Amino acid sequence: MRENKTSKGFGIGARRVIAYIVLIFLTFLCLFWFYVLFINATRSNANLSKGFTPLPGVSFMDNWNSMIHGTLPVFNGMFNSFFVAACSAILSTYFSTMTAYAIHAYNFKYKNAIFTFILMIMTIPTQVTALGFIRLVDKMGLMNNFIPLIVPSIAAPVVFFYMKQYMESTLPLAFVEAARIDGSSEFHTFNFIVLPMMKPAIAVQAIFTFVGSWNNYFTPALILSTDEKKKTLPILIAQLRSADWLKFDMGQVYMMIAFSIFPVIVVYLILSRFIVSGVALGGVKG
C-alpha cells in the first residue's frame, strides 16, 4: 500500500512538472514575439536588414520621430481605432447579453428555432456578405463614416452564444422570478440584477470584441477608403508597408505596430482579472 501511494504521488508530481514545463514553453512562445516586436522598434532600417539581434538598438527616438512627423495621421488613426473598437465592444456585449437573457429567461414559440438561426449566422464569413454590405452603405450615404463599423457589431452571434452558455452556468431563473415578484421591471431586472452577475463574461467578450475590432482591416478598408483622417491604424500600417521602396522604413513600421498594440495591452491588463473565471464558467453548462 505504501509503495502504491508513493508511486501515485510520484506520478502526480511528474505530471505536474510536465504541465508546468509545457505552460512555461507556451508562455515563452506567446511573449517572445512581443519581445521581438519591441526590440525591432528600437532598430534602424539598416540594422533590421542585417537580421535579428536580441539586444535593443539605439534608434528608438528616430523611429518615433519618423512616425509622429510623417505623412500619416497616426494619432487620428489611434483615436479612430479606439473609438470604433470601444463602441463595438460596449454595444456588442450589452445587446448580446440582452439577447441571451431573452432566450434564457423566456419561453415562447419558435425559441429553439431562433436560437438555431442565430448560431447558423456564425457560419457565414464576412467576405461573403461584403459586396452587398458595401452597396447598402453606399446607398445610405454612409461611406467614410464610423456608423457602418459600429452598428453591425450589435449583432454578434459568437458573443451571444458565449453569454447564453454562461447564463446557463451562473444565472438561476429563481433570481429573475424573485425580482418579478418584488415588482422589478424587465429592464431594471436585466440592468441591475443580470448584468452585475455577468461581469466576468462581459469582461472576457469585451476584450475579444475590442481586439477583433481594433485589428480589423478588411471592413474599414472598404468603408474608409478616401478620407485620410478617418482611417484606422491597421489601414495606416498597411499604407506604410506598401510605400515606395525608396521611402520604406522598416523601423518606422515596427514602431507603428508597437504603438498600435499598446492600447490593447492596457485594456487587457484592466480586464484580465475577469478572464480566468469568465472563460472557465462560460465553458461549463450547468
Q: Domain ends where: 62, 87, 106? A: 62
Task: Report the half-sphere exposure of 272 (CA within 13 A, side-chain side).
Answer: 7
> Which comes out higher in pLDDT, residue 33 or 286?
33
Q: Domain ends where: 12, 38, 62? A: 62
Report whether pLDDT(259) > 90. Answer: no
Same domain, residue pair 49 and 70 = no
Mean pLDDT, rounded, of the chain? 84
Same domain, residue pair 265 and 131 = yes
Task: Report the half-sphere exposure of 157 (CA within 13 A, side-chain side).
Answer: 13
For residue 192, give the CATH number of its domain: 1.10.3720.10
Same domain, residue pair 245 and 129 = yes
Instruction: Name the residue range of residue 47's domain.
Output: 2-62
Of the pLDDT bands very low, low, confident and very high (cuts 50, 70, 90), residue 129 is confident
Task: Give, in order, the Cα–Cα distances in Å from 104 to each of 43, 113, 140, 176.
Answer: 54, 14, 35, 11
Over range 143-148, report the average pLDDT: 91
| 146-174 pLDDT per residue, tens | 999 999 988 888 999 989 988 888 888 88
- State how many domains the chain has: 2
Same domain, residue pair 58 and 68 = no
Same domain, residue pair 44 and 69 = no
Same domain, residue pair 79 and 179 = yes
pTM, to two decimals: 0.82
Please choose, from the candidates 220, 60, 207, the residue with its C-alpha nearest in 3D space to the C-alpha of residue 130: 220
| 35-77 pLDDT per residue, tens | 888 898 898 888 888 888 888 888 888 888 888 887 788 888 8
Same domain, residue pair 183 and 121 = yes
Same domain, residue pair 30 and 76 = no
The distance from CA 233 to its chain's CA centroid, rounded to whole angstroms, is 15
Same domain, residue pair 251 and 176 = yes
Across the chain, how many H-helices and E-strands are there?
16, 0
Same domain, residue pair 39 and 153 = no
Over range 104-119, report the average pLDDT: 87
Please choose, from the candidates 195, 200, 196, the residue with its C-alpha nearest in 3D space to the C-alpha of residue 100: 195
Question: Do 199 and 171 touch, CB atoms closer than 8 A?
Answer: no
Of all residues in the chain, the percent with pLDDT exceeding 70 is: 89
Please choose, from the candidates 37, 14, 153, the residue with its C-alpha nearest in 3D space to the C-alpha of residue 89: 153
Q: Domain ends where: 62, 94, 112? A: 62
The DSSP result for 173-215, as a single string, is HHHHHHHHHTT--HHHHIIIIIHHHTHHHHHHHHHHHHHHHHH
Same domain, residue pair 22 and 86 = no
Over range 69-91, report the average pLDDT: 89
Whole-number pLDDT of residue 149: 92
Report whether pLDDT(87) > 50. Answer: yes
Same domain, residue pair 144 and 223 = yes
Question: Do 144 and 226 touch, CB atoms closer than 8 A?
Answer: yes
